[in-house]
Amino acid sequence: MPIPPPISSLVPTRRALLALPLAATPLAAAFAAENSAGSAAGPQIRLPSGGGLRIDPGAAPTAFRAGIEGEHLRLDFAGWPEPIRLPARRARLIVALPLAGREMLLAAFAGEPDEAAATARGPLDLVAVIGSDGTRLGILGVEMLAWKGHAGAGFDTMLDAPGHGTVLRLARIASPPQASTASRHLIWSDYLAWRQGGPLADAAPRPPRPGTWQAALSAVRARVIARLAPIPTALTLNLLAPTGLLDPAAEIPPRSG
C-alpha cells in the first residue's frame, strides 16, 4: 500500500496533537497526582486496544502501570518479568501506535541530564519506542522528538502510523539557524519499520540527500540502532551519548537544506 505524502503544513493537526506532552490528556492528571504523592507505581494505563498494549499480533492487550522510581520512569507489564526503565526528567507517555500487527508505546523524556545542559545546548526531547521484537519486550528505537537550539534553530516531530501500521512515520518540521539558509522551514519525513529479533529499522523510501538535516539524523539513527542490539529494557543517557543523539547542534549541518 502506498505511503501517504508527508505532512506539509505548519498548522497543528491530529498528528501534532499526538506529540503533545501527557499533560494535555486526562491520563496526565492521574499520572501527575500519583507521582506528586511520591508513588513508585503510576495509575493503570488505558489504551485504544481495550485496556492495555497489544504486544503481539492476535494476543490480548497487556495491562501495565507507569510511575516514577528514583531517576527513572518505570513501566511494568503484566506477565513480563523485566520492567522498562527510561530517564525520568520530563518523562511522559505520548501514544500507542499500530505497527506490524502489534502496538508500540511511545514515551518521551529529556535528552539532557540537567537544566545547565539544557541551557547550554538547547532543550531536547527524545522519544522511545517500546514494544516486542517477536521475542523480547523492550526499547526498539529512540529518536529526537523536539529541539529548541540557539539562533532560532530547532525542530518538532509529528508521529503517526500510515498504511494501517506498516511503518511509523516521524514528520519533521525544522527551522535552521537564522540567516543560514534562504528556506525558513525544512520539511521531511522519516520512517521506521518493525523487524523480527531486533530494533526498528530505518525504512526511508530513498537515501537522504547528503548534507541535509535528514541525512544527519539518519547517520545518528544508524548509531542508535547499533546500541539497541540486543533489545534493552533500560535506557540511560550514557548509553546514547556516543551516538550523537544528545547533541543536535553538533550533528546537524548549520547550512543544510
Using CA atoms, how far apart are residues 38 and 41, in angstroms rounded to an integer?
9
Tally the residues of the chain: 257
Supply the pLDDT for residue 176.
80
Nearest residue to 194 via CA among 202, 204, 184, 186 = 202
Using CA atoms, how far apart are residues 250 and 187, in angstroms rounded to an integer?
20
pLDDT (tens digit per residue) in 183-211: 568 899 999 999 999 999 999 999 999 98
Buried b (16+ CB within 10 A) or exposed e, 134-158: eebbbbbbbbbbbbbbeeebbbbbb
Using CA atoms, how far apart are residues 116 and 113, in angstroms rounded to an integer?
8
Judged against a pLDDT cut of 70, whether residue 28 lies above it is answered with no
Supply the pLDDT for residue 257.
53
SS3 228: coil
Helix and strand element counts for the chain (H, E): 7, 11
Which amino acid, 251? E
Judged against a pLDDT cut of 70, whether residue 157 lies above it is answered with yes
The β-bridge relationship of strands 137-148 and 154-160 is antiparallel
pLDDT (tens digit per residue) in 212-225: 999 999 999 999 99
More confident residue, 162 or 255: 162
pLDDT (tens digit per residue) in 66-85: 999 999 999 999 999 999 99
Share of the chain above pLDDT 90, in %: 67
Q: What are the domain boundaries of the chain?
A: 14-240
Buried b (16+ CB within 10 A) or exposed e, 41-66: ebbebebebeebbbbbeeeebbbbbb
Average pLDDT, the chain: 81
Supply the pLDDT for residue 42.
36
Judged against a pLDDT cut of 80, whether residue 178 lies above it is answered with no
Residues 126 and 244 sit within 8 Å (Cβ to Cβ)? no
Nearest residue to 62 via CA among 85, 42, 78 = 78
pLDDT (tens digit per residue) in 99-122: 999 999 999 999 999 999 999 999
Beta bridge partners of 64: 77
Q: What is the DSSP letter of 234?
A: B
Contacts of 110 (CB under 8 A, 6+ apart): 87, 89, 90, 91, 118, 123, 124, 125, 126
Cell numbers representing residue 240 in the block = 546514547
